[in-house]
Amino acid sequence: MKGLFLLAQRVDLDPNPNQLPGGRVLESLTNGIAGFSLIFCLIGLVVGAAMWGLGSTSSNYQQTFVGKRAFAVSALAALLIGGAAAIINFFYGAGQNI
C-alpha cells in the first residue's frame, strides 16, 4: 500500500524560463551582467599585471603581492563566469540522477 501511495505522489520538474512572464528579459539581463562582469575581469587582470610588474621592478613586495592576487582573482572570476552555465547544467544533471 505504501508503494502505491509513493507512486501517486510522483513530481516532475522541467525548468523553462519562458513559462513565466519576463523570462526572456531575465535571460537577457543575465547575459548582460555576465558581459559587464567579463569587462571588469579584464580591467582587474590588466591592473593586477601592471601592479605586479611595477612592484617587481621597484622591489616593492606588498605591491607585487597585491598585483599577483588581483591577477589571479580576475583570471579565476573570468573562468567561473565563462563556465557558469556548464557548472549549473552539470549539477542540475547530477541532481536529475538522484
Question: Do 50 and 67 contact (CB within 8 A), yes or no?
Answer: yes
- Is 83 inside any structural domain? yes
- Is 63 inside any structural domain? yes
Q: What is the pLDDT of residue 8?
A: 61
Q: Give 51-82 pLDDT, tens digit per residue.
A: 999 999 999 999 999 999 999 999 999 999 99
- Residue count of the chain, please give it: 98
Number of domains in the chain: 1
Which domain, by its residues, includes 45? Answer: 29-96
Q: Give 26-52 pLDDT, tens digit per residue.
A: 999 999 999 999 999 999 999 999 999
Q: What is the pLDDT of residue 90?
A: 96
- Is 22 inside any structural domain? no
Q: Give 17-28 pLDDT, tens digit per residue.
A: 888 888 889 999
Residue 5: pLDDT band by 50, 70, 90 thresholds? low
- Is 38 inside any structural domain? yes
Cβ atoms within 10 Å of 56's Cβ, excluding its own: 14
Cβ atoms within 10 Å of 41's Cβ, excluding its own: 20
Note the pTM of the prediction, 2 decimals: 0.78
